[in-house]
A and B are shown apart, each in its own frame.
Chain A
Amino acid sequence: MRYQLPAGIAAATAVAAFSIATVAGQGGGKTPWGHPDIQGLYNTAWLTPLERPAKVDAPSLTPQQAAAAEKAAADQRQRRALPSDPTRTAPPFGGDGSTGASGNVGGYNNFWIDNGEEYFSVNGERRASIVVDPPDGRIPPTTPEARKRQAARFAAPTADAAENIATVTRGAYDNPEVRPLAERCILGFGSVSGPPMHPVLYNNFKQIVQTPTHVMILVEMNHDARIIPFSKTHGPNTNRKWLGDSIAWWEGDTLVIETTNFTTKTRYRGATEDLKVTERFTRMDDKALLYRFTIDDPATWTRPWSGEFPFVMAKAGEQLHEYACHEGNHSFTGILKGERLLDGERAKGIKGSAR
């Protein structure tokens, strides 16, 4: 979380952030063992969407478009930050019908949301999407095989559901294992831990530490340390991992990380366990890295595709806090228990209990 701390605390934490920040501030520097030094604490929160919206017909926004979009986001933040109206009526029974947390009966309030304030720039262009290849900024079509897999997942609950599927499938609340990984506190949502690592609604910090033999990328949510050896060969595919099996090497001043040997559980945007993700970190300036990822899974997409966005050095006063998700996941009991109450109401034919 990146929230406003009381002034006294902010002053204290500023020192902490600076001690890390000075590392990244050596932009273009080398580690004592000669690798480009990209260590530090980075923020990856951006307003820029993954795919270019249909109404945008260019890869970049004009300064006017970007300013308008950022102002709209700022206005929304300001509205959300206003005190609630104590005289408002209750939300409609069962929510207002919109998708997302709780059908808009009230999930997260503004305090928790931290999804960036800007559209990022690369080469002076205000990008309209994270996806840059294909050049239309849209993820390429999925294969017929992938569509068949996805349809099957909608038809019946499976273990480790994807976030967008879990709440609509019949039987989706019958067992804890069919709830989404993020709801169960096994991984953060929205592929925040990746790879590829995406900007999400909140908790967008990453910490990079380098040693002569490894690079470690800490993903704030859920305290997932990606431990990546400098190597040219992957481990055996008998050791499939939640975040895949990653290896790294340097191409000039660019850190390249290649990941494969995923499990069948994460299924990035419907991908198979044979997904291969290639990530590249290149220094943009003394305060930012450009993060580029390429997705290759012929069983899922008709062609490889790529996206990119900056990792920006954390500002003074910003600090990565422990995201102890499972330890505080009291709502998960409530989610299942609530559904059992509904089961009882359905059995009695009580109005509004039908799904």
Chain B
Amino acid sequence: MLRAIGATALALGAAFAALFITERPVAGQAAQANTYKAPRLADGRPNLNGIWQALNTANYDLQAHVARPAMALRPGPVVPVPAREVLYLGAVGSVPGGMGVVDGDDIPYKPEALAKKKENQEKWLERDPEIKCYLPGVPRATYMAYPFQIFQSQSQVFIAYEYAGAVRNIFTKDPGPAPVDSWMGQSVGRWEGETFVVVATGFNDQSWFDRSGNFHSDKLKVTERYTATSPNHLLYEATIEDPETFTRPWKISMPLYRRIEPNAQLMDFKCVEFVEELMYGEWRKTPLPR
């Protein structure tokens, strides 16, 4: 039953999405039109240092979607209603709509991968690694509802994310294939004029792209482009390649906003302790009602 409702919600979302597609500017054009030159670091490179944050609903769903009552739904007597597990969150647990961040709004899954994506979405509560406070992977770390900080010097680039204290060192020289798979992958950066290009590989197959079950295999390669478009904006583009999961490369793009508050900083968000009741509560000496 839940499956059927999920499919209905998806179909509905897709229908609305189709309406929006023609309205979306193509990010590539935006990049080409960008003539802004960022302030330079002392070594002459564009200075991307700072705290940045996306302001969109991509972490709910990369694709266009309308608002809905909850991430997890069950059939109601009239319309789908929030699943028992999230019912008490009320409007706080509802999903805001968004125009989507995927070029053409199409994620080109292979047929079997699309089936898995749908299954992921139906089993979101059990499967989304974010629910268990697992490391977010790339590009998801970029557009979660938490800021991240770029540290850029003449020789090193490093990104720290508030969510789960995730981190990425961006190698400035290619060390060759990653020796081990990891959640955050291995990243190698280079400058192309105004744009910092990061190629990330060496991922495991555990992270997701959003709360809607969009996923990848360990063959994932993400090519990110960070381009300043004003003193307080970056254009973020990420091309996703994974021949095991997708029929062709696809791309997302979005602006990133500088956190300009004088006291802006990454706050502690060690969510491991926040999920202990969920993950281990049943093994307390005296378990709480679940």
Residue numbers in B under 8 Å from A211 (CB-CB): 49, 151-153
Task: Give the dominant DSSP class at A's interface.
Answer: mixed
Smallest CB-CB separation from A224: which chain B residue?
B165
Whether B158 lies near A31 (C-beta < 8 A) is: no
Per the bound structure, the CA–CA distance linking A211 and B50 in Å amounts to 10
- Interface residue B175 (Cβ < 8 Å from any Cβ of A): yes
Residue numbers in B under 8 Å from A85 (CB-CB): none
- B262-287 CB mask vs A (1 if < 8 Å, else 0) is 01011110101100110111011110
- Interface residue B230 (Cβ < 8 Å from any Cβ of A): no
- B141-169 CB mask vs A (1 if < 8 Å, else 0) is 00000000101111111101000011101
Smallest CB-CB separation from A210: which chain B residue?
B153
Residue numbers in A under 8 Å from B172 (CB-CB): 19
Whether A176 lies near B276 (C-beta < 8 A) is: yes
Q: Which of A31, A337, A343 meets B42, CB within 8 Å?
A: A31
- Interface residue B182 (Cβ < 8 Å from any Cβ of A): yes
Tell me, rounded to whole Å, the shortest Cβ–Cβ distance linking A235 to chain B. 7
Whether B175 lies near A333 (C-beta < 8 A) is: no
Q: Which of B182, B265, B272 meets A322, CB within 8 Å?
A: B182
Per the bound structure, the CA–CA distance linking A321 and B181 in Å amounts to 10
Tell me, rounded to whole Å, the shortest Cβ–Cβ distance linking A31 to chain B. 6
- Interface residue A320 (Cβ < 8 Å from any Cβ of B): yes
Per the bound structure, the CA–CA distance linking A18 and B174 in Å amounts to 11
Per the bound structure, the CA–CA distance linking A336 and B170 in Å amounts to 38
Per the bound structure, the CA–CA distance linking A239 and B266 in Å amounts to 11
- Interface residue A174 (Cβ < 8 Å from any Cβ of B): yes
- Interface residue A74 (Cβ < 8 Å from any Cβ of B): no
Given contacts A186-B272, A224-B165, contact A209 B156 (CB under 8 A): yes
Within 8 A of B (CB), among A208-255: 209-214, 216, 218, 222-225, 227, 229, 235, 239, 241-242
- Interface residue A9 (Cβ < 8 Å from any Cβ of B): yes
- Interface residue B110 (Cβ < 8 Å from any Cβ of A): no
- Interface residue B177 (Cβ < 8 Å from any Cβ of A): yes
Smallest CB-CB separation from A265: which chain B residue?
B273
Per the bound structure, the CA–CA distance linking A337 and B279 in Å amounts to 12
On chain A, the number of residues with a Cβ less than 8 Å from chain B's Cβ atoms is 58
Per the bound structure, the CA–CA distance linking A210 and B169 in Å amounts to 13
Per the bound structure, the CA–CA distance linking A235 and B267 in Å amounts to 12
Smallest CB-CB separation from B149: which chain A residue?
A227
Whether B155 lies near A23 (C-beta < 8 A) is: yes
Within 8 A of A (CB), among B204-223: 206
Given contacts A223-B165, A227-B266, contact A39 B153 (CB under 8 A): yes
- Interface residue A299 (Cβ < 8 Å from any Cβ of B): no
Whether B156 lies near A212 (C-beta < 8 A) is: no
Tell me, rounded to whole Å, the shortest Cβ–Cβ distance linking A125 to chain B. 32
Smallest CB-CB separation from B181: which chain A residue?
A322
Given contacts A19-B173, A218-B158, A223-B165, contact A321 B182 (CB under 8 A): yes
Given contacts A12-B175, A333-B280, contact A343 B285 (CB under 8 A): yes
Smallest CB-CB separation from A240: which chain B residue?
B268
Q: Using A13-B179, A176-B276 as known contacts, list a sample of 19 further A-B pairs with CB atoms less than 8 Å apart, ordered by residue number in A.
A: A15-B174, A15-B175, A16-B173, A19-B172, A22-B155, A32-B43, A33-B41, A176-B283, A207-B169, A225-B160, A227-B160, A227-B265, A235-B263, A319-B175, A321-B179, A321-B180, A321-B182, A324-B134, A326-B272
Using CB atoms and an 8 Å cutoff, list the residues of chain A in contact with chain B.
Answer: 5, 9, 12-13, 15-20, 22-23, 31-33, 39, 171, 173-177, 184-186, 207, 209-214, 216, 218, 222-225, 227, 229, 235, 239, 241-242, 319-322, 324, 326-327, 332-333, 336-337, 339-340, 343
Q: List 28 A-B contacts (CB under 8 A).
A: A12-B175, A12-B176, A12-B177, A16-B171, A16-B175, A17-B175, A20-B171, A23-B156, A33-B41, A39-B156, A175-B285, A176-B277, A176-B280, A176-B281, A184-B272, A207-B158, A209-B156, A222-B165, A223-B165, A225-B165, A322-B135, A324-B183, A326-B133, A327-B206, A333-B279, A333-B280, A340-B283, A343-B285
